[in-house]
Amino acid sequence: MNMPAARTLTWCLHLLVVGLTALTAIRAADARVPVLSALFLLVYAVGPAVSRTPARAAWWLAAVGAAWVALLVVTPDAVWLAFPLYFVQLHLLPRRAGVVAVAATALAAVLAFSAHQGAPAPAAVLGPALGAAVAVAVAWGYQALYRESEQRRRLIEELTATRADLADAQHEAGVLAERQRLAHEIHDTLAQGLSSIQLLLRAAERALPDRPEDAARHVARARHTAVDNLAEARRFVAALAPPTLDGTTLAGALERLCATTSARHPLTARFHLAGQPVPPSTARDVALLRVAQSALANTVRHAHASTVDVTLTYHDDEVVLDVVDDGTGFDPAGLPAPDPVAGGFGLAAMRARMTALGGALTVTSAPGRGTALAARLPAVAS
């Protein structure tokens, strides 16, 4: 139960005590009743100031009880004050002590009312006893509701804290995932382009000064690669589709990639298309294009191959990209872990792309036997 409701109930209880005391004083013919009523209210009024600890509350309740008994001895109308006193005692005293105090108050009310009537009467017993039972039931019910409200409040606070922690964890996971995605994107685009530029400039350096025409051709290719890389960087920052897919299909982009690779490096890259193309999917096509770019870059840098075949095959339920070269090959099990400085993100990035879209990546290779890479994605994007 919230604090405004508790304060409202407390004020209602105070008003009930004041009202019943005033009614007792007005109805009485004995001149002592108004004086004792005023004394009772005075003692009652100091309660909020002195009952802030359990010990002080017990002493204050004893003083209030004594003032009430004095008033009860003079007038039977004071018996009605027993009902609000029940609630005060149950509120301020521990559970067991409160019940004992209520029972003692009810007994005092029964004895005093019977004495004023001259003989015990059922009403004299039932009234205070029933009032005490109702007060105990209401007070215990209120306490149960209060405990439940406190438990609910704590649960809400814990839930809020848990949701905040979960939001922080999700944010951190999102940041890590975005960093990983950026690492893969940079590796597959900017890093591969810069690597090609480096190879071309080295070739130009070796051609100088004896073969200036070859050097100029290598420099021109490096310049074109830099232009393409700049376009990739701008589009990458703007979070748009790769420029190699603008205005063309995946097959067209792969064919152009093979032609560009053959023109810029001493390697023959051939493209093959099989099957009936399925409706385009930006996420699927971008992922397969990035895999082809990374695979060809690895072939140029590491395979020492003379030919590489890139095959895009459309099946009914999947799209398969195969990249097969006749290079030196390697042991897939002996690859080092990805290193941010030395590189090695290629296969891990390709595999992560395929897995994220419900596909798979397989690499078959052995020293001296070339390399075959197969990337598979569902024909219908999930």
Minimum mean pLDDT among 107-116, 179-188, 236-245: which range?
Answer: 236-245
Residue 129: inside a domain: no
Alpha carbon distances (Å) from 215 to 196, 207, 246: 15, 5, 32
Residue 52: inside a domain: yes
Find the CATH number of the domain harbouring 374: 3.30.565.10
Residue 56: inside a domain: yes
Last residue within a domain, chosen from 120, 152, 180: 120
- Averaging pLDDT over each range in 208-217, 282-291, 330-339, which range is the top one? 282-291
d(CA 190, CA 134) in angstroms, rounded, equals 81
Cβ atoms 64, 88 nearer than 8 A: yes
Last residue within a domain, chosen from 100, 120, 140: 120
Alpha carbon distances (Å) from 111 to 89, 105, 283: 19, 10, 89
d(CA 307, CA 157) in angstroms, rounded, equals 65
Task: Please determine, for residue 156, whether its predicted confidence score (pLDDT) is greater than 60.
Answer: yes
Selected residue with higher pLDDT from 242 and 293: 293
Task: Please determine, for residue 189, whether its predicted confidence score (pLDDT) is greater than 90.
Answer: no
Number of independent structural domains in the chain: 2
Residue 201: inside a domain: no
pLDDT at 94: 85
Residue 345: inside a domain: yes
Q: Give the global pTM.
A: 0.45
Please state, rounded to an integer, the average pLDDT across all residues of the chain.
Answer: 81
d(CA 230, CA 224) in angstroms, rounded, equals 10
pLDDT at 112: 80
Per-residue tokens: 316: 């009914």
Per-residue tokens: 195: 């690597």
Only one residue has tokens 């990639």, namely 257
Query: Each residue of 74-114: pLDDT tens digit?
Result: 888 888 888 888 888 888 888 888 888 888 888 888 888 78
Last residue within a domain, chosen from 86, 120, 154: 120
DSSP 327-372: S----GGGPPPPBTTTB--HHHHHHHHHHHTT-EEEEEE-TTS-EE
pLDDT at 342: 41
pLDDT at 288: 92
Residue 257: inside a domain: yes
Selected residue with higher pLDDT from 34 and 185: 34
pLDDT at 242: 57
d(CA 346, CA 349) in angstroms, rounded, equals 5
**pLDDT class of 251 with cuts at 50, 70, 90:** very high
Task: Please determine, for residue 182, whether its predicted confidence score (pLDDT) is greater than 70.
Answer: no
With pLDDT > 90 as the criterion, what percentage of the chain qualifies? 18
Residue 240: inside a domain: no
Q: Which of 98, 30, 124, 118 is nearest to 70 (CA)?
A: 30
Minimum mean pLDDT among 69-78, 231-240, 317-326: which range?
Answer: 231-240
pLDDT at 82: 84
Q: Where are the beta strands (DSSP E) in 229-329?
A: 268-274, 307-314, 318-325
Residue 200: inside a domain: no
Q: Which helix (H) or strand (E) holds 374?
A: strand 371-378
Q: Is the backbone of residue 35 left (phi > 0), alpha (psi -120 to 50) or beta? A: alpha
Domain span at 286: 249-382
**pLDDT class of 381 with cuts at 50, 70, 90:** low
pLDDT at 187: 65
**pLDDT class of 174 with cuts at 50, 70, 90:** low
**pLDDT class of 320 with cuts at 50, 70, 90:** very high
